[in-house]
Chain A
């Protein structure tokens, strides 16, 4: 399933054990070379293009943090005018997708451009040193929501970005995980074949922000899915079309493996917080029907 020559070259500066380059390679393997990629500011932009080098073997553009979707909309409009069938991709992190680029994302969704939007979701601003983003889950320790005597980390739950995309009548909305490459590839192919906007959100663990050993990156992402905290689903024309069935594991398996949740096992109130996180997983399992019969 891997192309002879990867369209994302080695020698990029992503941390050892980072899942983001794997996500990018899997996405580009599925789309093939006939694409133009637009990236907002983020880990991907910084690590893939240290001037005067570039890891990209497909046309790639970077403008600003907030306007990747607007730039991609322009590229798509011109391609349409030129009658070219090149697919336009946005590959960006959760900071630009959930927070900073929200306005231009909303515009792109609303206008219905033929663009595939891929968000590699590492659940905080990792590039600048682990600040909380809209994607950061409940009770996560980040540098702007530190855990301590007065706090158990991020007080807010994760923003439901797929629901926001669905509310814009985006025809194809899906979540995927780097730990399930076959599922990811199928979803990217489906989004690439579609004529219209699609939104793909891919769980991508960050070793420095989530704090775990470099080798367990894929294992952590698998646990996120298997506990029900990161449900994998597909919405086609606003209707739930498919989910990845799981045999639910307790959320503590997932939480224990990461330093960003370490305080929950020590601090007073941690037990209640873990129960609240389990409730989030249970709600996902019930809402999307994730449990295997």
Chain B
């Protein structure tokens, strides 16, 4: 007999199994010497995937969709978008 379940339950934060980095055409490259650690890239990133790792802002390429918001908003122009060869 068909069992009908009203509503659904899934694990919190489980979209992380999907690596949206595969969508990317351009990849952000951070020039760490120019970076002033203002964290605007971290605040504006729609994926929340550019984060401070051991004092440096590093994009998580598993999830980065390559939208270039970080490069556009960086006040020091420390982030450039580079065509990614896969």
Complex CA gap A81/B14 in Å reads 31
Does chain B have a CB within 8 A of A36? no
Interface pair A54/B11, CB less than 8 Å apart: yes
Cβ–Cβ < 8 Å partners of B68 in chain A: 17, 213-215
Does chain B have a CB within 8 A of A26? yes
Cβ–Cβ < 8 Å partners of B77 in chain A: none
Q: Which A residues, 37 to 62, have Cβ-Cβ distances below 8 Å to chain B?
A: 48-58
Complex CA gap A9/B67 in Å reads 17
* CB contact between B10 and one of A19, A52, A218 (< 8 Å): that residue: A52
Complex CA gap A52/B44 in Å reads 27
Complex CA gap A16/B20 in Å reads 9
Interface pair A10/B69, CB less than 8 Å apart: no
Q: Helix, strand, loop or mixed for chain B's interface?
A: loop
Which residues of A does B touch, CB under 8 Å? 1-2, 6, 8-14, 16-22, 25-26, 48-58, 178, 181, 213-219
Interface pair B20/A13, CB less than 8 Å apart: yes
Complex CA gap A132/B16 in Å reads 33
Interface pair A10/B60, CB less than 8 Å apart: yes
Number of interface residues of B (CB under 8 A): 36
Q: In the complex, what's the smallest C-beta–C-beta distance from A55 to chain B, in angstroms?
A: 4
* CB contact between A52 and one of B8, B43, B63 (< 8 Å): that residue: B8
Provided the pairs A49-B10, A51-B10, A53-B17 are in contact, do residues A10 and B67 lie with their beta carbons within 8 angstroms? no
What 0/1 pattern do residues 23 to 56 of B give for CB contact below 8 A with A?
Answer: 1100000000000000100111111110100000
Complex CA gap A18/B68 in Å reads 11
* CB contact between B44 and one of A8, A58, A181 (< 8 Å): that residue: A181
Provided the pairs A214-B69, A218-B69 are in contact, do residues A53 and B15 lie with their beta carbons within 8 angstroms? yes
* CB contact between A56 and one of B13, B19, B43 (< 8 Å): that residue: B13
